[in-house]
Structure 1
Amino acid sequence: MSALYLNRYSFHDVKLEGRRVLFHIPSSGLFELDELGGSLIDFLKENEQITLDGVQQRFDGQAASADITQTLDSFRELSIIGDEPGMPDPGMKVEIRQFPISTVVLNVNTGCNLSCTYCYKEDLAVPTKGVRMNFETARKSIELLLKEGAPNDRLNVIFFGGEPLSNLPLIKQTVEYTERRCAEEGKLVDFSMTTNATMLTEDIVDYLDSHRFGISISMDGPQAVHDRRRITVSGQGTYAVVAAKARMLLERYRSKPVGVRVTLTAGYTDVQAIHEHLKYDLGFFEVGVAPATSGPVTVFNLSSDELREVFDGMMALGRDYRDAALEGRNNGFSNMHQLMSDLYEGRKKALPCGAGVGLLAVDHDGDLNLCHRFTGSDMPRFGNVDDGIAKEALGSFLESATSRVDKGCSTCRIRNLCAGGCYHESYAHFGDPLSPTYHYCDLMREWVDFGIEIYAEILQKNPQFFKKHLSTRSVQL
């Protein structure tokens, strides 16, 4: 074996209690290191260039020559060592002109009966000034989905707003049309909705149940927390009505588990108390949290110290997730569950999400937006339901998004799990949707290291948990 070079950009090793786990960055795969493997990794990290003779000499008397050679061969297969020095990852160099979308988000009304202080929606309006999508626009959106999503057996339609239930007649008309057209085309279809829950009635719940909607409720926790930000247009807190409606929904709904999405804002960072209330007091199946750091009104954004507290709380919940998993239960902390899914599936992302490739959002004018967060913004549109997808423009944007040249992502150990982070988060924070979310980087690396530790322990002590609980879930926003 001639001289070999270390590729520091291909691996990250995590030291656990009595164990060593190697995270293979290019594949997002995890490998347990034996004692020799761990010692060799430590040696390699101290030497940019090695030879087989040099390694044999270093470990003479500590390991058999054949074992050393075999381990080094394995490292070479993983590109941990190679004939040339390791280089930063430039990203994919591909031409993207095919967009087999599986999901369309219909922004059915810009109007909302709430006036949540941190809302990111730039086209949001009070109920009397809301602009509703008409059926013709919705119909053309479905036809676009059927055309561009032809390779997919299953399609998804998500109703969004504003408050989507404020345009329930359109939703019902669109559901009827979509089910008929999908049956004609031999497609399966799933419907989803994110709602503030205030407009739910028993009849509406039963309707949504009969069409097997995936439902996500926006709610921020106990009353003292929820009522600070999620208020009516007239300034009244909404906890009492949302909690009552949520209990009614959870009591009647049978077709799918119901999740809740929490926006964490300045002034309250007790993630565990929020999860405890929403999961165990109200009974939601899943609880997901999203820290606010880039909203237009900076007073609501978490400070760096508060963000640190939030991540510490998330890790405490992650340990609760582990304890439940070792007993064969899912505690419903969806942030941790998603990370476990990414590690279990060995997910490798060239793009941060499916926006623009698997998903497009349609506004009330029929214009195609990168995702639901961009409707009403200054971000360029990528076609419309009449003319179709502007494939050249969208392809150029996505090709730029896959590039890691001159970005911190090129050397980051979680680049294939994060892929730069949310476009809208970057757009709101830096004014550039293609900028990595640098304000999250250190915390995200810490979060993934923590996840690897939890994943390895569950895999060692109760691997059946992953087979039972980790499965592809419907798209939720």
Structure 2
Amino acid sequence: MVHQYKNNGLNIVLDVNSGAVHEFDEKSYDVLAYVKTKNEENHDFTVSELEGLYKDSFFEDSENKEILDELVELTKTGLLFAPDVHKGLLEQVKERKTIVKALCLHIAHDCNLACKYCFAEEGEYHGRRALMSFEVGKKALDFLVANSGTRRNLEVDFFGGEPLMNWDVVKQLVAYGRSLEEPHDKHFRFTLTTNGVLLNDEIMEFVNQEMDNVVLSLDGRKEVNDQMRPFRNGSGSYELIVPKFKKLADSRNQEKYYIRGTFTRNNLDFGEDILHFADLGFKQMSMEPVVGDESDPYAIREEDLPVIMEEYDRLARLMLDRERVGEDFNFFHFMIDLEGGPCLSKRLSGCGSGTEYLAVTPWGDFYPCHQFVGQEEFLMGNVDAGITRTDIADEFRGCNVYTKTDCQSCFAKYYCSGGCMANAYNFQNDLNGTYKIGCEMQRKRVECAIMMKVAKKI
């Protein structure tokens, strides 16, 4: 499968199966487009099929024939029209044993903000407000160690709600995790996701000592953030939080953190919010599109997509401009590794929810990920009994880019790995479905990310 597109004055060609990226001149780009019309069903060719095109009258033109010669050579070397070797390895991926490597500990089903788009209902997750006890968290860490096989590096994210509302238990669990490392030859990578309201110097010092990564929730410009992320009394949170986040990011040398925003249809110019982060001095940032029902006034709708696509293109150009003058920053969705990248199972199956990654409620129930918490049909077990619904794990393990119909012809499938299964289930009631609006945005982000890599090379 070959995908070609124009972006920022560049003619880009992506060979999907090999991952090779090419920048073509205008003539070569047009010739490739013509070649692809000769096999419109899948746009793939073997070398012999390409050589069979020489008798086409289009290639009586010497320049066109020379370009076809180059296309044939690229195909011979596996850099164009590469065969799909991934599908032949699919059974190995599906049969891999369940090795749990990461837990999302819902340390607090409670929150001190009232974000209007919160899928967790201000931390309640379709249930009740609660704080995780040390005893439940301890059992969760024991479960992780016992079910992690030979994997040494284990990941634990303190999540909510707002985890700082249960800070003493966070500290106790970090200490307990550290006590397990040497006896079991493990290493815990702790992370924290916080809205920053309760951040203080003591917490920052502990975070910098113990947390491998920190996710800081802020939506951008003051008016944007305060509209969607107010306190329960309706007042804005920006003025309180921003100085704390700036201090924490600087204390971490602008590394090992993300300032993470959410954009809605209220700020489709979200690039301005990302630039606002950069102007505040932040270097690591993410801006996620809100996911909501179309009836929600803030939800992104299909008619918003043209504006969003243009905004991603604009942001990519602005980032290149800033990098040229030494004002560069990282935007999570434009970070693509074209030379290494994730392992095979990640490319085909995604985040590992329900198999390698589990969410744990304050009372110790297991769910495939934080977005399924509270949906009883996905309750997998608990910290006392372990995984009792292995069929759920099997169902998640079976989901991949080949079981999702919409992924078959998508050039971005090995970058998004089939997309978020929670979004697929919530919008199509099918783990093997897709969230179509999300897919459109993902494809544009991949195109922008590749364009930026090409622009920097040339």
- Per the normalisation by structure 2, the TM-score is 0.84
Matched, 1:45 2:36: yes
- Correspondent of 2:330 among 324, 332, 336: 332
- 3-state SS, counterpart of residue 124 of structure 1: coil
Q: 1:248 and 1:450, CA in 2 relative to 1: closer, same or farther beyond 3 A?
A: closer
Comparing both chains, which one has the higher relative contact order based on Cα–Cα distances under 8 Å and sequence gaps of 6 or more? 1
Q: Which residue of 1 aligns with 2:162?
A: 163
Between 1:11-20 and 1:148-157, the stretch displaced more is 11-20
Query: Does the Cα contact within 8 Å between 2:428 and 2:434 map onto a contact in 1?
Result: no
CA distance in 1, matches of 2:81, 2:101: 39
Q: Which residue of 1 aligns with 2:276?
A: 277
Question: For residue 428 of structure 2, what is the amino acid of its counterpart?
Answer: F
Summarize deviations over 1:120-139 as a string: whole Å, max 9, x none. 0158249xx62111122211
Between 1:270-279 and 1:398-407, the stretch displaced more is 398-407
Q: 1:330 and 1:385, CA in 2 relative to 1: closer, same or farther beyond 3 A?
A: farther
Question: For residue 357 of structure 2, what is the amino acid of its counterpart?
Answer: L
Tell me how far 1:113 sits from its aligned partner.
1.2
Tell me how far 1:436 sits from its aligned partner.
1.0
Matched, 1:13 2:11: no
Q: Which residue of 1 aligns with 2:42?
A: none
CA distance in 1, matches of 2:438, 2:194: 27
Which blocks of at least 5 consecutive residues in structure 1 are unaligned? Answer: 1-9, 461-477
Q: Which residue of 2 aligns with 1:444?
A: 442
Query: Does the Cα contact within 8 Å between 2:269 and 2:311 map onto a contact in 1?
Result: yes
Q: 1:422 and 1:398, CA in 2 relative to 1: closer, same or farther beyond 3 A?
A: same
Tell me how far 1:288 sits from its aligned partner.
1.0
Query: Does the Cα contact within 8 Å between 2:8 and 2:317 map onto a contact in 1?
Result: no
Matched, 1:140 2:131: no
The within-5 A match list for 1:109-124 is 109-121=108-120, 124=123
Matched, 1:345 2:351: no
Question: For residue 333 of structure 1, what is the amino acid of its counterpart?
Answer: F
The within-5 A match list for 1:305-324 is 305-324=303-322
CA distance in 1, matches of 2:288, 2:108: 23
Between 1:177-186 and 1:105-114, the stretch displaced more is 177-186
Matched, 1:228 2:219: no
Summarize deviations over 1:217-238 as a string: whole Å, max 9, x none. 1111222111112122232222
CA distance in 1, matches of 2:267, 2:15: 37
- 3-state SS, counterpart of residue 132 of structure 2: coil
Query: Does the Cα contact within 8 Å between 1:212 and 1:256 map onto a contact in 2?
Result: no
Q: Which residue of 2 aligns with 1:471?
A: none
Q: Which residue of 2 aligns with 1:75?
A: 75
- 3-state SS, counterpart of residue 359 of structure 2: strand
Q: 1:117 and 1:35, CA in 2 relative to 1: closer, same or farther beyond 3 A?
A: closer
Q: 1:235 and 1:433, CA in 2 relative to 1: closer, same or farther beyond 3 A?
A: farther
CA distance in 1, matches of 2:249, 2:401: 44
CA distance in 2, matches of 1:60, 1:331: 49
Matched, 1:413 2:407: no
Q: Which residue of 1 aligns with 2:302?
A: 304
Question: For residue 30 of structure 1, what is the amino acid of its counterpart?
Answer: V
CA distance in 2, matches of 1:70, 1:266: 45
- 3-state SS, counterpart of residue 235 of structure 1: coil
CA distance in 1, matches of 2:86, 2:184: 45
Matched, 1:28 2:12: no
Summarize deviations over 1:363-399 as a string: whole Å, max 9, x none. 1222221112222234412232223335732442124
Between 1:147-156 and 1:70-79, the stretch displaced more is 70-79
Q: Which residue of 2 aligns with 1:474?
A: none
Tell me how far 1:214 sits from its aligned partner.
1.6
Summarize deviations over 1:438-470 as a string: whole Å, max 9, x none. 12333433332333222211122xxxxxxxxxx
- 3-state SS, counterpart of residue 355 of structure 1: coil
Question: For residue 211 of structure 1, what is the amino acid of its counterpart?
Answer: E
Q: 1:123 and 1:362, CA in 2 relative to 1: closer, same or farther beyond 3 A?
A: farther
CA distance in 2, matches of 1:65, 1:431: 50
- Per the normalisation by structure 1, the TM-score is 0.81
CA distance in 2, matches of 1:294, 1:322: 32
CA distance in 2, matches of 1:189, 1:441: 33
- Correspondent of 1:375 among 355, 373, 376: 373
Summarize deviations over 1:298-337 as a string: whole Å, max 9, x none. 122123344433332232221122234456663232222x
- 3-state SS, counterpart of residue 118 of structure 2: coil
CA distance in 1, matches of 2:26, 2:262: 44
CA distance in 2, matches of 1:17, 1:92: 36
Query: Number of residue pairs matched?
Result: 443
